[in-house]
Copies of this chain bind each other. A is one copy, B any other.
């Protein structure tokens, strides 16, 4: 497998830390053993855990006010892929990439697939973009895409999604994620019901074009770019659409797309129960759809979400198998560093959720022992599983301390030289 980080450097850095890691790992193993948990089982599961990187996340994001680009940003999908490779080499838990079209459209998809193959990266959910007008686009999305009152705009948006499926097939992806910016800024601007009917009719056309072994994931979002109403404003509308369209259509949960105070883990449970959980866009937020680094503000909430996911796994819940992806905007950090760290934070939540004694928890729940039930979760969360995560990385040839290696390697600086700024760079950083 092609590597972008010098193996000698990686090994040297790991060597410095290995003894301490072994010591911490042994101590944790002993502690877990007392609770009848085999650390090796957990470490093995940690090593299997993967979360996809969005191609656009490798660039510096911005706000409506400004964007402060960093140096050495990728200028096209091939360079984005290079950064994804680095992220995966160091973190060991991001073996797939989710592309966005038309940003990542290339003339020769086989070339692109080959580069990914060389890096050991797979392609997962493909994303369509009908929230921007492209240069020379004949019919605008200003007033909506799949739900536009004008057939011409809807047809364009439908065809674009069908094209994206085709690109995805060339890359070996198996699902399409549909998020649209459709909605309204003024009460009265849209007829809610008619707009939803148009949306569903358009989605039916796309659904028809879905290969048999594909899934389609609908993403809901409370607001922005539309500020009074969005066509799929919450999981309720999302679920109605997914049920309307059929078994290959499921709902995708982006952590940032909810009303203040929403209990997201409960929504996750409902979607699991009704076999409609398609996947996740992980990120964190304090105020709205802030797209901050995963787990950087509400690590316990992220853990509680994984508590639902691991519970469904434990119960062999029928039809369960969501896709995991990061979806963040990096405005003041090196995107590669944020993505490495965020992937590990997501993995951390997963591993902690594995430590919950589910039978004990069920017992407390059944007996209404609210405090002990809550402590069964909290105690798992309070454990420091860093040694497990580091050991899982070490064993698959990744870095014990990924950020230290990344900085040591001088990757960004090298890229700053290799990638002079290009004003025509595509779609990087927007989330």
Contact with B along A285-296 (1 / 0, CB 8 A): 111101111001
- Tallying the copies of this chain within the complex gives 4
Residue of B nearest to A261 (CB): B287
A190 CB, nearest partner CB in chain B, Å: 6
A142 contacts the other chain (Cβ, under 8 Å)?
Answer: yes
Q: How far is the CA of A406 from the CA of B223 in the complex (A)?
A: 31
A111 proximity list for chain B (CB < 8 A):
none
Indicate with 1 or 0, residue by residue over A179-205, a CB within 8 angstroms of chain B CB atoms.
Answer: 001001111111111101100000000
Within 8 A of B (CB), among A297-317: 297-300, 304, 307-308, 311
Contact A287 B222 (CB under 8 A): yes
CB of B66 within 8 A of CB of A292, answer no
Query: In the complex, what distance in Å separates the CA atom of A347 from the CA atom of B14?
Result: 35
Q: Does A266 touch B at the CB level, under 8 Å?
A: yes
Interface size on A, residues (CB 8 A): 114
Shortest beta-carbon distance, A31 to chain B, in Å?
A: 6
| Chain A contacts with B in 63-116, Cβ cutoff 8 A | 63-66, 68
Judge if A426 is at the interface, Cβ distance under 8 Å. Answer: no
Closest to A317 in B: B193
B66 in contact with A64 (CB, 8 Å): no
B304 touches A187 (CB 8 A): yes
Other-chain residue from B141, B186, B262, B300 in contact with A371 (beta carbon distance below 8 A): B186
CB <8 Å contact, B186 and A332: yes
Are A365 and B65 in contact, CB atoms less than 8 angstroms apart? no
- Bitwise interface map of A from 129 to 153 toward B, beta carbon under 8 Å scored 1, else 0: 0011100000011110000010000
Cβ 8 A contact of A65, one of B224, B258, B265: B224
What is the interface of chain A, defined by CB distance below 8 A to chain B? 20, 23-24, 27-28, 30-31, 34, 61-66, 68, 131-133, 140-143, 149, 181, 184-194, 196-197, 222-225, 227-229, 233-237, 239-240, 258-263, 265-267, 269-270, 272-274, 285-288, 290-293, 296-300, 304, 307-308, 311, 331-334, 337-338, 341, 348, 361-362, 364-368, 370-378, 381-384, 386, 403, 430-431
